[in-house]
Each structure stands twice: as C-alpha cells, then as structure tokens.
Amino acid sequence: MTNVSAAGLHIGPDHPPRVMGVLNVSEESPYDPSVYDDPAEAAAYVDDELVGEGADIVDVGLESANKRFEVLSAEEELERLDAAVETVERVDGDAVFSIETRYAEVAEAALSRGFDMVNDICGFADPDMADVCLAHDAPVVKMASPPDLERPGAIASVDDIYAALERDPLPENAIVDPAFGGWSEEKTLDDDRETFHRLGEFRDLDRPILVSINRKNFLGDVVGRDTDERLPASLAATALAVECGADVVRTHDVAETVDAATIGHTFGREC
C-alpha cells in the first residue's frame, strides 16, 4: 500500500489516522463556526480550534461545494486566495495546509504560495490537476466525481464510485475519497450504507483513503437528528471508518474526532 507525505506528514496505513480540520474563507459556506473572511481571525481559529485541538491538516475552502450555490470560476477563486494565503502565513501552530479547489490553475497558485496539498472535489475534472500536484510533490485528494467541473461527487452506486476513482491513472501522491453524502439527488441512504460497508475495498486502489462524514445527512437519517445533534453519530461513524481503513478524517469537530479516530485505530483497522 502506498503512503504519501505532505510537508513531512506521513499519511497512509503505516501511520496513525490523520484528522483534517476545516476552514472556509467563503461567506456562503453553511457551517458558520468555520467561516472567516478576516485573516487574523481565521489564523486565531486555526491555532485555537483546529491545530490547538489536534488537527494534522487544515483544509481551506474558497467556495461552498453546496449544490444550491453557483460554482465560482477559477478567477473568482483566485480572488479569494489572498485571504487564505495570509491566513496560512499568520498561523503559529504546526499544520499541513490543504487547498480545496477543482481548478489546476488555483492549485498551482496555492501550492506556489505556501499550501502543502490539494483537495479536489471534482476528481480531476480539470485534466491538469494531477500533473500540477506532481510537479510540486504535493499530495492530492481525488474525490469520486463525474468528469464535470460543476458536478462534484454526483455518483450514487459503489461500483460507479470505484470506477470514477479509477477513471484516470492515480498518481503516486493521490489520496482517494469515496464522496459520502448527498452530492446527488439519486443517492440514497442505502448507497451510503453500502459504501461504508465496502470501504475496505477501496484499499485495492493502493492509495490512502480520506472520508468526510462529519454530521452528514445520511447519519442524521439513521439516528433522526438535526445537524447540531449529530456529533455522537459522527464520532461512532469515525471510529468505524478508521477501523475499516480510513487514513484521513475530515471534520469540523476536531478534538472529539481525534479521540474517535484513536479508538478506531487502537482497536483495529481491518474490515
């Protein structure tokens, strides 16, 4: 199994699970506690609430991926990049910084200005994404998605998710993300349940696995809880995901997720 390294942080089955905290510099992002447009305030949030609570990686979003909003162009994302870069420069704590973008042009700019890795929610719909990340020796998360810059993760069945991740040759520095949650109107709870049960099969891609399951609607459907009441369900799912092979867990609830991932790692990583 391939392990990857981001600015000296080793990620993969030979290492403990890594926790990825979230910072958004996009005012339209729905999760208010993670949204900042002032770099000084954003840096304080990273130091106190993310790195300070145990995040290994900070994933910075330039726009909301919620399908209710219009997709920003690469030029519009680049206009927001200055605030993200200034935030990184102001952070005192030690963390790896990931930029969430679907555009190779934005990835190039971010990696040239201090970011360490890329989180591509459109799964290489931009054909230059993999080459840009390889040129910078930077890991890149490939989320299962159609080859369409406006439709991230709009895939339902597990077999199609697997095919999307295999669609292009995976570079050695890739991390795969099976895209849990309601990215598609056709996706059902049964689809997410099957993805969860078959999570270990993604090991066959020979790349580390990232999961983003924190407070997602499919967990709420199971336990009958609204978003602000889903933390216990998220933590249970985190422990199970790590046991089944997840190497990175993306979350808004860092301290609690660190504990849940530690339990999953300590008591088994095989499904």
Q: Is the pLDDT of residue 31 over 60?
A: no
Q: Rounded CA gap, 213 and 122, in Å?
A: 17
Handedness of CA 131, 133, 134, 136 (dihedral sign): positive
pLDDT per residue as tens digits for the range 124-177: 999 999 999 999 999 999 999 999 998 899 999 999 999 999 998 899 999 999
Domain-located, residue 259: yes
Instruction: Please report, for the domain that includes residue 260, its CATH number.
Output: 3.20.20.20
Listing DSSP states for 132-175 in one string gives HHHHTT--EEEE---S-TT-TT---SHHHHHHHHHSSPPPTTEE
| Predicted pLDDT at 37 | 79
| Predicted pLDDT at 73 | 93
Q: Rounded CA gap, 85 and 79, in Å?
A: 11
At 201, the pLDDT band (50, 70, 90 cuts) reads: very high
In the predicted model, what is the mean pLDDT of residues 19-23? 96
Domain-located, residue 50: yes
Instruction: Identify the helix (H) or strand (E) that includes residue 89.
Output: helix 74-90
Domain-located, residue 232: yes
| Predicted pLDDT at 16 | 96
Bridge partners of 100, per DSSP, are 61, 119
Domain-located, residue 271: no
Can you read off the two tokens belonging to residue 178?
Answer: 């099976």
The answer to whether the CB of 14 falls within 8 A of the CB of 242 is: no
Domain-located, residue 67: yes
Prediction pTM value? 0.94
- 63-67, 105-109, 241-245, 247-251, range with the lowest pLDDT: 63-67
CA-to-CA separations, 87 to 33, 78, 155, in angstroms, rounded? 16, 15, 34
Domain-located, residue 89: yes
In the predicted model, what is the mean pLDDT of residues 193-219? 94
- Average pLDDT of the chain? 92
The answer to whether the CB of 264 falls within 8 A of the CB of 242 is: yes
What is the number of domains present in the chain? Answer: 1
Q: Rounded CA gap, 8 and 96, in Å?
A: 9
At 28, the pLDDT band (50, 70, 90 cuts) reads: low
Per the structure, the complete domain to which residue 252 belongs is given by: 4-266
In the predicted model, what is the mean pLDDT of residues 53-70? 85
Domain-located, residue 171: yes
Residue with tokens 């609570």, as numbered in its chain: 53
Q: Rounded CA gap, 66 and 99, in Å?
A: 17
| Predicted pLDDT at 78 | 95
